[in-house]
Homo-oligomer: A and B are copies of this chain.
């Protein structure tokens, strides 16, 4: 089938309307084809290896060699059409009891429980910049509402796949340092929302948890996990250092030798291992997970609300200054890591591997 220039323009517009954000490799392919279609063969100098996003884009374009503009246009349109869903998906209803309208979360509050659901299931609930900000907002609202308990959980198969690496992609090479500082500041503020949260905070870990969604568990009061859950913090693989106060909470919870295995050497824990090491309160069979956990939480909310909050604060206040200090140092350290060659190379190599799959 032969497409017209008009089809090409239409495809261009459809890209911006896609309901699900395409994966990185698709985005790079789209970029390459678009440039090839509109400019012709790659005619710009190869960017520095440190400028990894532009380098990846350059690679995508340059790999098309001498493909004609016309055939690039055709491929572009075909690729876009393959991404457009056959049927428009139904407008999702706002569940009863919903609070603010969130884009990346579903937040409800009823029966004295405020439930914050990470809601990017097709991205395995990876946390992008939008979600970082929305979680902070949801925690602020939950802190001040009438609920007794606040629950964080994930929609779909994953609990959370950690920091969305696309957050790195939005960085212009010129502003790399500026951008690292901003990310560090946002991360610091994000973690402080967990340190400061004044009510019992409960993680309902419905599936695999990765990165910052694991390290933050040290700041939760109760962690219930499905036996399908795993706990994985591959920071070193990506040239990064631990955050979420885990450099302090993990050695405290499981001893330094077990914590090092996770935080430096990428050991992935099963739910049972995480429980026996004190990171998880209790593990439930996946088949009855939701039923058992929610029955328990509903029983908990009959306990005196203020007593629970005061007791939780008593347990946390004793180390609050330490937690602020640790969070600060971890963020400083990460800013340095993000600007290091080790980290850039590791993220680059990770993205390339991913796009080859």
Which of A15-23, A110-118, A169-177, A307-315 lies at the binding interface?
Answer: A307-315
Contact A255 B257 (CB under 8 A): no
Chain B hits for A303, CB < 8 A: 236-237, 264-266
Contact A261 B247 (CB under 8 A): no
Contact B315 A247 (CB under 8 A): yes
For chain A, the count of residues having a C-beta within 8 Å of the partner chain is 64
The number of times this chain is found in the oligomer is 3
A59 within 8 A of B: no
- Please give me the residue from chain B that is nearest to A248 by CB atom: B318
Known interface pairs A264-B312, A317-B329, A318-B329. Does A278 touch B304 (Cβ–Cβ under 8 Å)? no
Which of A71-79, A187-195, A336-344 lies at the binding interface?
Answer: A336-344
Known interface pairs A237-B303, A315-B247, A318-B322. Does A265 touch B222 (Cβ–Cβ under 8 Å)? yes
- Please give me the residue from chain B that is nearest to A281 by CB atom: B257
Q: Restricting to A274-312, which residues have a CB under 8 Å from any CB of B? A: 277-282, 300, 303-308, 310-312
The smallest C-beta distance from A303 to any residue of chain B, in angstroms, reads: 4
Complex Cα spacing A307 to B343, Å: 8
Known interface pairs A248-B318, A315-B247. Does A307 touch B256 (Cβ–Cβ under 8 Å)? no
Q: Restricting to A242-259, which residues have a CB under 8 Å from any CB of B? A: 242, 247-249, 251-259
The smallest C-beta distance from A100 to any residue of chain B, in angstroms, reads: 28
Chain B hits for A240, CB < 8 A: 307
- Please give me the residue from chain B that is nearest to A245 by CB atom: B318
Contact B260 A279 (CB under 8 A): no
Chain B hits for A264, CB < 8 A: 200, 221, 303, 308, 311-312
A326 within 8 A of B: yes
Chain B hits for A121, CB < 8 A: none
Contact A255 B253 (CB under 8 A): yes
Chain B hits for A305, CB < 8 A: 342
Complex Cα spacing A249 to B310, Å: 17
Chain B hits for A223, CB < 8 A: 257
Q: Could you say which of B280, B300, B307, B329 contacts A257, with CB atoms under 8 Å apart?
A: B280
A162 within 8 A of B: no
Chain B hits for A280, CB < 8 A: 257
A239 within 8 A of B: yes
Contact B281 A314 (CB under 8 A): no
Contact B278 A314 (CB under 8 A): no
A186 within 8 A of B: no
A241 within 8 A of B: yes
A220 within 8 A of B: yes
Complex Cα spacing A223 to B241, Å: 21
A333 within 8 A of B: yes
A105 within 8 A of B: no
Contact A304 B342 (CB under 8 A): yes
Q: List 17 A-B pairs, Cβ < 8 Å.
A: A200-B260, A217-B257, A235-B307, A236-B304, A241-B311, A242-B315, A252-B252, A255-B278, A260-B281, A264-B311, A265-B300, A306-B342, A307-B337, A307-B343, A310-B336, A314-B330, A318-B322
Interface, chain A (partner B; CB < 8 A): 200, 217-218, 220-223, 235-237, 239-242, 247-249, 251-261, 263-266, 277-282, 300, 303-308, 310-312, 314-315, 317-318, 322, 325-326, 329-330, 333, 336-337, 340, 342-343, 346
